[in-house]
Structure 1
């Protein structure tokens, strides 16, 4: 009878799916519908007609809890915990057969890394894909993107019509169905094929659906259940104790190796469950596994298992699984999770190893659970440090510090002292902003640790702190010393790469960081997954400073694909890297969305310091779009992250203030903020950022920085600083040809807003020279480039599009008037006297023929002067 249920006639949907998997413009299809509507049936019917090889992966609630869980059978045995390496292994094995089709059942249950892999396969069309998604369930963003971004075609499967219901049942029963019975089935099932099938099969088993005079009739209350769960539950009641035993084992650990399931419940029970259509047996990569024939069966079965029984059953599964060495991270996590909820005494070493796996595979909450379980069983420093690290990364430094405070450093040996000091000093320095306490802890390690490799670990962490204190040259030198040491352990290399990666780009040595980034990318077994994420951010930052925006965008996209929302910090940092590139390219709306998402993910009990660089760049994006109130809101929020432990970011804070001032027509203030940023950057050795700050000042109308930028062009790696210098020289000389040329240069490297500003700044020079044609060309170019930057409203662009006959100071004060500020408030903000403010307002009103402040404000709002 099973095969007859697949005779459902959906010709139009069948053709759409077949076309998508054979010759369609997309890479496949996603079938969407409620549970039981026939998504899997249709998908398997279509793939059964294909000549291509088809590989199926079925997602479950159990596999969802394990990073890359559903694709674990395709991951080669390895000790690697690196997400990119594991993704690569799964991808290679899935695509081992060319021209293949990948089927994914219940893709809404994919874990984040598996969803990422599926998304990658769809984007580059490595394989045709057919996936099913249940309506009404949360779906990973990577899966939703499959149809929203046009990679796969979305097909909504709706309920059957009454005619289809009757036709299906009659084809299965091979006889006519009574009209009244047909009405009952149609109304009770709601046209859901699975409801319908379970109803018919259950009624046949119960004897309430019988053939009378050649016509099938449905009689009796049990044949009209209220919902699918009740129908399945009734069917399970008749399955028999041995079958139910097998199903309950499977419900607690799905999928389950067939041999293990047989060993637990017996061959007869497994065979009976398969013959009854309750489970299906199939090959999962290297092993043959059992799964439920439908995920709802597992949910119903779980409802039949009490807590005590579940603990005992998991214990039996653990006993069977631990006889096999867990070869992959997914295996270790799965076994550790079973241990936690079983009646078996957990293996602390396994829990610790699984906790590391979970953290490195971007699931901090799971890592915390496993690490806490290990720590509560053992209480050792190794387990405590791991738990503290998971808490720290989740923005809970107080809890992390309380864990570490239980250990007496005087009782620790050299290795243990390093394990204890590093996380505690880190949380004191970065999370709590207590620089003195952080440095005190580092000195404790420095005085007591003698073994050279361990000292290098401390030196690398200290280098990262030095960089954050804005002592750039000193921090780089310390990091390079560690990186050059032949006996440096991996933990020292990771920390040193992070320190160098934050310092070298802003110091003008972005190109020098490339081999360090490559070394980090090649390392398949990092000591801390989050440090690896940060180094990857630094890689993107370095590429942007040397003007390699295409490569920066490729890296940012690559790095963001393995991150997971379960690992909110890693996901957020990857998002910030994407936003960095968007800001440089002038894609401000994308930057706003990206940074806001990252900031939302970084919300924690203790605000995470990574919010600061995201907020400062977000201010610039809002300001460029003319959204002053949002820019002010974000800049005010950024004030919570300030102090010597974040001095590295102070030049960026001033650049953000400069852009906000520019957005309020405060060119004079904007130039002053940009100059201050350049001064602080120069004093700290942030030469690339000094050049950028002077470039902003030049775009805001400052003509005095050509000489300094020319000097910096010889010091900062990459072509961008040279462009800044040529732009400043062209502004200083009033050279329209040079401005036009440098505008083209900016566009060629992808700095579109700078290109638009250079073109806009050439317009008044062409006008004064009477070069109307050149002026029109520059204007058209500036507008075209601005449009590609989401209509950016920079001072240069707005001054040329709607000029008002006001001086820079008059513009600035008039903008404050338009924002409803009093003369006293304006004077305090600008550091001038109230009489000076009144004089500028009077002259502005005279020039614009405004009778009072109100008319001046109205003119400003309706005639933007930014």
Structure 2
């Protein structure tokens, strides 16, 4: 790829510029591993020096010139020093200074660790004497010449250690390089495979674009396969690794196939000395975990290259060796049977059905769906019979491959024993409901079979499944009644956890989120007793937990649930309901905060998944975020696709669809129809006992400006529904119905305190409209500024309430004065800093006060500080107009173009 634009690392760059200009030192040395972007950082630092006062002398140290005196300075000084000259260091230093032509000399040294000793001493002489400043890069882990080392040790220059790119930096770099936004999954995958190494990132991205596996899909860049290994990338890896002895090659290959692997097991296969040398050279990393020493590759790409170039016969032999070595240890650890079974298969040694089934279940417990399915298929092929078929079909269903699951089930013979019959019926019912959208058939199958079974344990299994489907269908009354009946029995741990989850889901939909959260916590607290039997239950439990925070308006609960789900699904591989639930929870939390761009990034990959058949929930949430940003047509198309692709329309998913349609109508300028849709959705939810959904729908009508018909019902719900969100919604309806502007501003403050900034902005905007009509422009300006400030802290919102809002038209100078005033500067200080008269500074401040409707520096700071960029961006308030988070070409809140809003999508299970 062509040279990438510089992006990310803003705080690091600011720190480096400050150190480079520090009058108490003579410059900075940027140290870090190879490929992290030290040279680009140094180049950006150099651009900050004033060109009229500085001469930059670029010195490139190389390995080839490191043994030649003055080799690094060859392009800057004469080839020969005068005859009989004794002090060649001083001569070379004077020659360098002559190049500066009387200006400040800045020595730019790349790869200072490769400097020859004479060049190093010349540079150090100039820096120590204060005759030149230094901006240099240095590779960590490599010996550097003593003169260079002493420069920072003796305090003549500052040393700044930099590391790999953070995920935020990777996002910024990719956005700048690709000319468009990458989705969240793509950022995470590229950050993982490159470990934030800027050089590797550039090569991987270039190869992926060339191979067509990284492309723009529906407005965002998406990685649709494993990052390819281009020849140049392989060369870079080999250059980093260096020449390998046969023993080191053994270490690298065994680790690439087996990581994480015990260091002692690796030593038994390759020799202890080889492992120690490999660690010293950075080929592997050894960490102590518990009482074990665990070896992993020094970089993920080392494994990619090693596996790519491993001949098939040697690969098989390596796997067989690994299996034998692990079997010799007695398979003492929980994961050992899984690992040895996988290695035996890969080594061509085969395995019996029972070990394959056990290994498949262990892989499922680790949320590794591709491996679990592969082992399940091997167990079926090895003669595993009905047990293998049931397990494989179950895995395929949870991995969102219901058609394949159906094929396995159709080929399975009816078992003769009751336990097997019950398990087969459970698999078929799940496939009917989730994979074929046939809830009625699934419930009928369960009910008929339940009557046929003689064993109470089998009947309870089927009753637990009926409860799960009933709760997912949002039949709260039936689900709560059946759950109470089942909890009266002595249930197995996995069955009890399922019942608790179903009951919690029903309670959540009914608005009883506190009780629901308690049940989820109880079930997850006992996860050790049921996780191996039903690992997929981890996902719906967390999903319910997150929705409790969503409906109650408690973002801390959502964040806790999401963090816990991330941890529980840390080993997730392959698409599954779990991955979809995590993305959905994250997207809903971002949307509720008004972080609409973040929501789209998080939801883009699942919403555009190529093969998953039940991604409707994520797609509906994506449509909601689009609508909130004013993309009415796109939101309508996305929602239509969501309904078409979702294979479980009998779930609460259709309630989310109804809520999103409200805002799509508003986005299309159909305000009256939007209100009608909101009221219809609320009536349907009330009839079904779904108080949580009803409250959201009723509040949507308030946000659309129709509070009168819903205020009384919202007040009723506020008395029974858990959480502050519905109580604020009721206050919002009452204040708007009574034209109480002060009440609306108090509601805005309440929503802001919860973190629901978009709701807060809308309430403040409605207050501004009332004040403009009742108290005049001055009072309205203060409320409008509050609304504008809150909306600007979101990411590109465009809802009906905000369309009447105009961004304050501060001039550039007024903005500067406002920022300095908010920072606590006096008129005199502002005048001196900006080079203007003190009276002019006062006038600009007064104009800013008037336009923003504020009266003090504290109020000014509150309005402006919401626009500070997040970590990784530049400091200081964003521009006043257009709005800070607007997309290119997007109109400010207050523009008259059509565009709208949407309530976040929710559980699509």
TM over 0.5: yes
Provide Cα deviations, 1:163-194, integer angstroms capped at 9, x if missing partner. Answer: xxxxxxxxxxxxxxxxxxxxxxxxx9999897
- Residues 1:543 and 1:481: Cα distance change in structure 2 (over 3 Å): farther
Provide Cα deviations, 1:201-232, integer angstroms capped at 9, x if missing partner. Answer: xxxxxxxxxxxxxxxxxxxxxxxxxxxxxx76
Provide Cα deviations, 1:245-269, integer angstroms capped at 9, x if missing partner. Answer: 999877765676677678778x799
Match runs of 1:578-593 below 5 Å: 578-593=586-601
In the aligned structure 1, how far is the partner of 2:298 from the partner of 2:692?
Answer: 60
Q: Describe the SS at the equivalent of 2:503.
A: helix
- Residues 1:258 and 1:587: Cα distance change in structure 2 (over 3 Å): closer
In the aligned structure 1, how far is the partner of 2:510 from the partner of 2:686?
Answer: 9
In the aligned structure 2, how far is the partner of 1:789 from the partner of 1:271?
Answer: 52
2:349 to 344, 350, 363: 344
In the aligned structure 2, how far is the partner of 1:761 from the partner of 1:529?
Answer: 48
In the aligned structure 2, how far is the partner of 1:368 from the partner of 1:190?
Answer: 31
TM-score (norm 2): 0.60
1:400 aligns with 2:405: yes
Give the corresponding residue for 2:534: 528
- Residues 1:598 and 1:563: Cα distance change in structure 2 (over 3 Å): farther
Aligned 8 A contact 2:286 2:294 in 1:
yes
Aligned 8 A contact 1:588 1:624 in 2:
yes
- Residues 1:785 and 1:422: Cα distance change in structure 2 (over 3 Å): same
1:432 aligns with 2:439: no
TM-score (norm 1): 0.63
Give the corresponding residue for 2:729: 724
1:491 aligns with 2:494: yes
1:769 aligns with 2:774: yes
Aligned length: 625
Give the corresponding residue for 1:507: 510
In the aligned structure 1, how far is the partner of 2:742 from the partner of 2:771?
Answer: 10
Match runs of 1:647-666 below 5 Å: 647-666=651-670
Provide Cα deviations, 1:131-172, integer angstroms capped at 9, x if missing partner. Answer: xxxxxxx99855865999xxx9967699xxxxxxxxxxxxxx
- Residues 1:454 and 1:704: Cα distance change in structure 2 (over 3 Å): same
Structure 1 residue runs of 5 or longer lacking an equivalent are: 1-15, 20-27, 48-104, 109-117, 121-137, 159-187, 199-230, 803-859
- Residues 1:518 and 1:699: Cα distance change in structure 2 (over 3 Å): same
Kindly state the Cα deviation for residue 303 of structure 1 after the two structures are TM-superposed. Answer: 8.7
Q: Describe the SS at the equivalent of 1:799.
A: coil
Match runs of 1:828-843 below 5 Å: none
Give the corresponding residue for 1:604: 611
Give the corresponding residue for 1:668: 672
- Residues 1:449 and 1:524: Cα distance change in structure 2 (over 3 Å): same
In the aligned structure 2, how far is the partner of 1:666 from the partner of 1:296?
Answer: 53
Kindly state the Cα deviation for residue 634 of structure 1 after the two structures are TM-superposed. Answer: 0.8
In the aligned structure 2, how far is the partner of 1:734 from the partner of 1:340?
Answer: 73
Q: Which has the higher helix share?
A: 1
Q: Describe the SS at the equivalent of 2:650.
A: helix
Give the corresponding residue for 1:576: 584
Match runs of 1:268-279 below 5 Å: none
Kindly state the Cα deviation for residue 281 of structure 1 after the two structures are TM-superposed. Answer: 11
- Residues 1:756 and 1:642: Cα distance change in structure 2 (over 3 Å): same
Give the corresponding residue for 2:519: 516
1:567 aligns with 2:570: no
In the aligned structure 2, how far is the partner of 1:654 from the partner of 1:714?
Answer: 25
1:677 to 678, 681, 703: 681
Kindly state the Cα deviation for residue 579 of structure 1 after the two structures are TM-superposed. Answer: 1.0
Kindly state the Cα deviation for residue 362 of structure 1 after the two structures are TM-superposed. Answer: 2.3
1:613 to 614, 617, 632: 617
- Residues 1:294 and 1:706: Cα distance change in structure 2 (over 3 Å): closer
- Residues 1:299 and 1:479: Cα distance change in structure 2 (over 3 Å): closer
RMSD, matched Cα: 4.8
In the aligned structure 1, how far is the partner of 2:653 from the partner of 2:237?
Answer: 60
Q: Describe the SS at the equivalent of 1:747.
A: helix
Provide Cα deviations, 1:704-752, integer angstroms capped at 9, x if missing partner. Answer: 1111111111221122222222221222222223222222222222222
Aligned 8 A contact 2:429 2:443 in 1:
yes
In the aligned structure 1, how far is the partner of 2:311 from the partner of 2:193?
Answer: 40
In the aligned structure 1, how far is the partner of 2:280 from the partner of 2:714?
Answer: 79
In the aligned structure 1, how far is the partner of 2:562 from the partner of 2:395?
Answer: 24
Per mean C-alpha deviation after superposition, the further-off stretch among 298-307 and 721-730 is 298-307
In the aligned structure 2, how far is the partner of 1:594 from the partner of 1:299?
Answer: 27
- Residues 1:408 and 1:441: Cα distance change in structure 2 (over 3 Å): farther
1:756 to 735, 758, 761: 761
Kindly state the Cα deviation for residue 372 of structure 1 after the two structures are TM-superposed. Answer: 1.3
In the aligned structure 1, how far is the partner of 2:278 from the partner of 2:597?
Answer: 54
Provide Cα deviations, 1:419-446, integer angstroms capped at 9, x if missing partner. Answer: 2122221111111112233123212431
Kindly state the Cα deviation for residue 700 of structure 1 after the two structures are TM-superposed. Answer: 1.0
Provide Cα deviations, 1:477-497, integer angstroms capped at 9, x if missing partner. Answer: 323443x34521233233324
Q: Describe the SS at the equivalent of 1:350.
A: helix
- Residues 1:314 and 1:695: Cα distance change in structure 2 (over 3 Å): closer
In the aligned structure 2, how far is the partner of 1:189 from the partner of 1:752?
Answer: 45
- Residues 1:346 and 1:755: Cα distance change in structure 2 (over 3 Å): same
Aligned 8 A contact 2:761 2:802 in 1:
yes
Per mean C-alpha deviation after superposition, the further-off stretch among 465-474 and 493-502 is 493-502
Q: Describe the SS at the equivalent of 1:768.
A: helix
Q: Describe the SS at the equivalent of 1:568.
A: coil
In the aligned structure 2, how far is the partner of 1:566 from the partner of 1:275?
Answer: 28
In the aligned structure 2, how far is the partner of 1:413 from the partner of 1:404?
Answer: 17
- Residues 1:665 and 1:141: Cα distance change in structure 2 (over 3 Å): closer
Aligned 8 A contact 1:30 1:153 in 2:
no
Q: Describe the SS at the equivalent of 2:35.
A: strand
Structure 2 residue runs of 5 or longer lacking an equivalent are: 1-15, 20-30, 38-62, 64-110, 115-137, 145-162, 169-183, 202-231, 808-893, 901-909
Per mean C-alpha deviation after superposition, the further-off stretch among 267-276 and 387-396 is 267-276
- Residues 1:374 and 1:256: Cα distance change in structure 2 (over 3 Å): same
- Residues 1:535 and 1:321: Cα distance change in structure 2 (over 3 Å): same
Kindly state the Cα deviation for residue 518 of structure 1 after the two structures are TM-superposed. Answer: 0.7
Q: Describe the SS at the equivalent of 2:652.
A: helix
Kindly state the Cα deviation for residue 674 of structure 1 after the two structures are TM-superposed. Answer: 0.3
- Residues 1:412 and 1:437: Cα distance change in structure 2 (over 3 Å): farther
Per mean C-alpha deviation after superposition, the further-off stretch among 645-654 and 307-316 is 307-316
In the aligned structure 2, how far is the partner of 1:632 from the partner of 1:787?
Answer: 25
Per mean C-alpha deviation after superposition, the further-off stretch among 699-708 and 245-254 is 245-254
Give the corresponding residue for 2:339: 334
In the aligned structure 1, how far is the partner of 2:725 from the partner of 2:667?
Answer: 24
In the aligned structure 2, how far is the partner of 1:282 from the partner of 1:791?
Answer: 46
In the aligned structure 1, how far is the partner of 2:702 from the partner of 2:279?
Answer: 78
- Residues 1:457 and 1:689: Cα distance change in structure 2 (over 3 Å): same
In the aligned structure 2, how far is the partner of 1:303 from the partner of 1:595?
Answer: 32
In the aligned structure 1, how far is the partner of 2:439 from the partner of 2:549?
Answer: 30
In the aligned structure 2, how far is the partner of 1:412 from the partner of 1:332?
Answer: 30
1:737 aligns with 2:742: yes
1:357 to 346, 357, 362: 362
